[in-house]
Amino acid sequence: MSLRKHELESNKLQKRLRRNVGKAVADYRMIEQGDRIMVCLSGGKDSYAMLDILMSLQKNAPVHFDLVAVNLDQKQPGFPEQVLPDYLDELGIEYHILEKDTYSIVKSKIPEGKTYCSLCSRLRRGTLYGFAEQIGATKVALGHHRDDIVETLFLNMFYQGRLKAMPPKLLSDDKRNILIRPLAYCKETDLAALAELKKFPIIPCNLCGSQAGLKRNAVKEMLTAWERQFPGRIDAIFGAIKNVSPSQLADTQLFDFANLGESEGKMEIEAIAEVESYIQAINV
């Protein structure tokens, strides 16, 4: 690829990602005037991309908002502690590095051969959400993208028997934090391309990310195969997540199937009675 073509493709990529993030932010009112956004930075490609795009949008956004980058050092062996501080110092952004040995807790609680993800994420969330309150953050930004959301839909369907994914905006279970996912409309392939373009200093996860046989990996492979065979399928599935018809499913908590038609029938009976009364009045 020529240099000129490479530059054009790079510009198109960055514009596409900014447009997708901007649309997600607007669709779900993720960011409002005066917000202080805590950007959770793991050291992976997605969170680096999220911070990069939000900083870009911040310059031209119609509202003023602040960004604070926060990383949780979970004390995994071999974790390169200076990579993120060096990167963030160069950006000139406010940031905090939290230190909590969740690695040892996870290793001691989870039997060998079992996946660490569930406990690891709960411990991580608890620490980060609590810190968001300490620094006065009004929103907590997480780096989940479109593919993560679709994968989670199938994970819940296949392994939990639930029709549930990751919403772009969510009130946390403790009702104390509003979580946003600015990358909700972004494809993972685009984020990987941006990471390569920007040369983000990626820090691989050597805890859950290094485990074999993860259910999420199996779902990802399934979706990748579908996308190869039927291009656009993941977009269609994500579109379905945004276009739900409760009356066409079977959840009695979301739709009143038990009383279906009763109100219409009652209205019809009342209308007939009214007509009959009118006829009687005329014939008197």
| Average pLDDT for 11-38 | 97
Interval 180-211: pLDDT, tens: 999 999 999 999 999 999 999 999 866 555 54
pLDDT band at 275 (very low <50, low <70, confident <90, very high): low
The predicted structure's pLDDT at residue 269? 56
Strand partners, 40: 70
Tokens 């009112």 found at:
29
Give the Cα separation of 45 and 120 in Å (integer).
19
Tokens 């989670």 found at:
152
Q: What is the per-residue DSSP string for the chain?
A: --HHHHHHHHHHHHHHHHHHHHHHHHHTT---TT-EEEEE--SSHHHHHHHHHHHHHHHH-SS--EEEEEEEE---TT--TTHHHHHHHHHT--EEEEE--HHHHHHHHSPTTS--HHHHHHHHHHHHHHHHHHTT-SEEE----HHHHHHHHHHIIIII-------SEEE-TTSS-EEE-TTTT--HHHHHHHHHHHT------SSGGG-SS-HHHHHHHHHHHHHHHSTTHHHHHHHHHTS--GGGS--TTTS--TTTTHHHHHHHHHHHHHHHHHHHHHH-
Residue 170 vs residue 270, higher pLDDT: 170
Domain 7-244: which topology? Rossmann fold (3.40.50)
Task: Assign 152 to helix, strand or coil.
Answer: helix
Give the Cα separation of 137 and 35 in Å (integer).
7
pLDDT band at 155 (very low <50, low <70, confident <90, very high): very high
DSSP state of 111: P
Q: Cβ distance 43 to 95 under 8 Å?
A: no
Query: What's this model's pTM, rounded to 2 decimal places?
Result: 0.84
Interval 234-269: pLDDT, tens: 999 999 999 999 999 999 999 999 888 765 555 555
Backbone angles phi and psi of 119, in degrees to 5: -65, -40
Tokens 């934090």 found at:
177
Q: Which of 106, 57, 103 is nearest to 79 (CA)?
A: 103
- Computed over every residue of the chain, the mean pLDDT equals 87
User: What residue segments make up the domains of the chain, in order of their start?
Assistant: 7-244, 252-284
Determine if residue 173 is left, alpha or beta; phi over 0 gives left, psi from -120 to 50 gives alpha, anything else beta.
alpha
Containing H/E element for 114? none
Give the Cα separation of 4 and 17 in Å (integer).
20
Containing H/E element for 47? helix 45-60
